[in-house]
Amino acid sequence: MAVQAQSKVRGSKSKTKSGSSGLALPKQVLIKIHDLMLKSRVLEERMIKIYKVGEAYFWIGGPGEEAFGVPLGLLANKGKGVQHDWLHLHYRCSSTLVAMGMDFLTPLRLIMNKATDECTGGRNFSNHYSFPEWNVAPVTSPIGVQYSIAIGTARAQQRSKGKGITIVTGGDAGSAEGDFASSLIWASRRGSELPMLITVQNNKWGISTHFDEQHGENHVSDRGQPFNMRTTVINGNDPIESYIRLEEEMAYIRKTGKPVVLESTVSRLFGHSSASGANPIDEIDCLSDFQTLLLKKDILTEKNIKDLQSGYEKEAKAAQDQVRTEMTPQASSIWDNYFVGNETGNWREF
């Protein structure tokens, strides 16, 4: 990937509650967060268009999770190896990766199934990323498995006694899978606690089934309490609250080595996926709410927003035009990387 400079915004902590913005974060942080939220939204809307004009078979993604996802990506300690954070993300994670510096070409190559798709070689659905250089574990379709796998990276980090933590994201319905329980049990063993930020993005839906039909607990994060874990619920539609609370919780985990269960309320702005039409749904839109706030506080003008949006739209369209011309995967590539180092797995060649 053309790795862009990480969009890290440093030094926010000392300025919380004041700053020149009149809000709880400094102005330049707010502007950066907005920029990335908008960029990520434009990317998702471009992907939906690509699906709708028939240049992709399927879309699933994360419009509506930007207010949570962008702060998470900004605060993650990006890099390779256990001294950096490990991220086990679900398929609504595009905004986190945009905040970490993902360009437009990478997600479009993936959704358009090109041979140049560096995450899966044209094999998998949209937003199923894997970036070894950033400790971004492969996004999987089977719901929930990331909560089990995260135990292992956290264990390696704990052993290394560094500052790297393991971050895992997933949906509310998926917390019914045994993997979620495994992560609570394994992260909280007395004296062997794991440095894990176990998060749940609660959009109140699992495809068509409402939260109330699937849960007895008030908050999924409450399930950490009997394990003596720190738990919290945040408004994931508010990027300021998300940024501040994520920063606090991550600092706690880095300092104590102990896990946190964090639930954030988010929206599912275009429904579950292209299978349900990928049309706009009337739910809280974190981006437009944030824009309203920034306009009111004179941090941005209508023109700033318009210019930014059209710039990103142009960039996304240009990326689509480029990707369209790129090679499709060859049939023979089905055997590629069957085993490590391309040792053959085709028995006809044994």
Find the binder of ligand TPP among 27, 46, 78, 92 (CB under 6 A).
92
Query: Under the criterion CB under 8 A, does residue 185 sit at the interface with another protein?
Result: no
Cα 48 from Cα 50, distance rounded (Å)? 5
Q: What is the distance between the alpha carbons of residues 100 and 103, in angstroms, rounded to a whole number?
A: 9
* DSSP letters spanning 263-327: EEE---TT-S-GGGT-----S--HHHHHHHHHHHTTSS-HHHHHHHHHHHHHHHHHHHHHHHTSP
Among 143, 198, 250, 293, binds ligand TPP (CB under 6 A): 143
The answer to whether 282 contacts another protein (rule: CB under 8 A) is no
Site map (CB under 6 A) of ligand TPP, residues 40-79, x = contact: ----------------------------------------
Distance set, CA 346 to CA 123, 135, 338 (Å): 18, 30, 8
> Which partner in another protein, ligand TPP, none is near 124 (CB below 5 to 8 A by kind)?
another protein
Q: Which of 45, 172, 179, 193 is the binder for ligand TPP (CB under 6 A)?
A: 172
Q: Which of ligand TPP, another protein, none lies near 203, with the C-beta cut-off 5 to 8 A by kind? A: ligand TPP
Q: Of 1 and 176, which CB lies nearer to another protein in the complex structure?
A: 176
Backbone angles phi, psi at 116, to 5 degrees: -80, -5
Asked whether the beta carbons of 120 and 130 are under 8 A apart, the reply is yes
Using CB under 6 A as the binding rule, whether residue 173 contacts ligand TPP is answered as yes
Residue choice 115, 185, 207, 334 for contact with ligand TPP (CB under 6 A): 207
Q: Which two tokens stand for residue 68?
A: 């949570």
**350 touching another protein, by CB under 8 A:** no
Total residues contacting ligand TPP (rule CB under 6 A)?
14
Q: Does 144 bind another protein (CB under 8 A)?
A: yes
Q: Residue type for 268, please?
A: R
